[in-house]
Amino acid sequence: MSKITLIAYTFGILFFLVSCSFASFYGYKVVTHELPKEEMTKEKFQYHLVLVPEELDNEYWRLVERGAKAAAKEYGVLLEYAGPKQANIEDHVKTIEMSAASKVDGIMTQGLSDEQFTPLINRVVAKGIPVITVDTDAANSKRLAYIGTDNYYSGFLAGKALIADTKGKANVAIITGSFYANHMQQRVKGFQDAVKGEKGIHIVTIEESEISRVKAAEKANQILQDYPEVNAFFGTSALDGIEIAHVVEKYKMQNKIYIIGFDTLPETLDYIRKGTIKATVVQEPYQMGYEAVRMMINLIKGIKVPPIVHTNTRIMRITDLPVSNPGRMREVK
Ligand code: BGC
């Protein structure tokens, strides 16, 4: 074999090996949704739990994850955070099924819709794997407990805040994260019930953002074109209010349009400081994550836990923000 052929062979083999390792690494990531990253260290831990959110990189869910990780550290739990990169119900369901198949000790997830999640949760529980719903309840399922906001009440609070802030006169557009998800439906229902008796409040339209920033902005744009009478918005999930504010600022309509959003992500707080968002509904994602793990450990140990634990919810306005910190707000846990 000539020297050149030998070099060509060596390069060929090297190239093949590098391609194989890339292929198996990414193939593994796609299939597992980053599931068993910490597999190697499993023996160190007493319990293996999985938290499955509807969207991995959503800032709101990162706060839930932080709370869960803090509790996991305290209780000797191997905690995996796995799910769709972008909100997608099939991937969400698949991740729960894969977690159950890998016989984890417990699954914490949202009970997004009765149709898809109730039978799934029931199947998992029947296999002997406890399920706790977090943030969104599937109340008709056999989940062992729910921890999260009272979503109906939080929507009701939003409605009452809007009435107070607009002096009972507003043409409202609602942008909701999803038409099918239980918590979104409850938030909208609570809001509708709160404004029901108000003659001066009209809900002009309800649109869906599919938990997507781009869609929320598109919908806000469209609403302003189609319904010039709209002078108030209610965004029912963490990114909706932010994108409504973005669009309203683009048209320089901050002084004409009232916005109430959801959650306390840094961008939302910035918009509150600027006066573009007038109010937001506070949730406690960090606490949801922390308590979910604590409750799960108790359940596994046979200690009773309450079937429903509601975390705090309330309205926050600019007057509730500390004045001593004029820069970027700290992230609210
Ligand atoms: C909801 C989460 C949702 C998030 C989307 C929050 O208000 O509680 O369920 O995933 O918004 O950005």
How does residue 333 score in pLDDT terms, banded at 50, 70 and 90? very low
Place of tokens 């070099």: 7
Q: Burial code of 281-306, b = ≥16 C-beta within 10 A, e = fewer?
A: bbbbbbbbbbbbbbbbbebeeeeebe
CA–centroid distance, 70 to ligand 1, in Å, is 21
Query: Which domains can be identified in the chain, with CATH numbers?
Result: 33-149+285-302 (3.40.50.2300), 151-282+316-320 (3.40.50.2300)
Angle in degrees, CA 20, 25, 26, rounded to 5: 105
Is pLDDT above 70 for 39? no
Mean pLDDT of the chain: 90
- 233 close to 277: Cβ distance less than 8 angstroms: no
pLDDT in tens, 130-168: 999 999 999 999 999 999 999 999 999 999 999 999 999
Residue nearest to atom 12 of ligand 1 (CA): 238
State the pLDDT at residue 40: 45
Supply the residue whose CA is at minimum distance from atom 10 of ligand 1. 54
> Would the pLDDT of 332 be above 60?
no
Share of the chain above pLDDT 90, in %: 83
CA of 60 from ligand 1 middle (Å) equals 6
Ligand 1: does its nearest atom lie under 6 Å from the Cβ of 117?
no
- Note whether 258 and 162 are within 8 A (CB): yes
Q: In 3D, which of 60, 27, 216 has the Cα closest to residue 135?
A: 60
In 183-214, which positions are buried (b, 16+ CB within 10 angstroms) versus exposed (e)? bbbbbbebbbebbeebeebebbebbbbbbbee
Contact 333, 264 (CB under 8 A): no
Query: Percentage of the chain surpassing pLDDT 70?
Result: 84
> Is the model's pTM score more than 0.75?
yes
Calpha distance 297→292 (Å, rounded): 9
Question: How high is the pLDDT of residue 163?
Answer: 98
Residue 35 is given by DSSP the state T
Q: Looking at the DSSP assignment, which residues form a beta bridge with residue 202?
A: 171
Which residues share a beta bridge with 216?
none
pLDDT digits (tens, 9 = 90+) for 236-253: 999 999 999 999 999 999
pLDDT at 18: 54
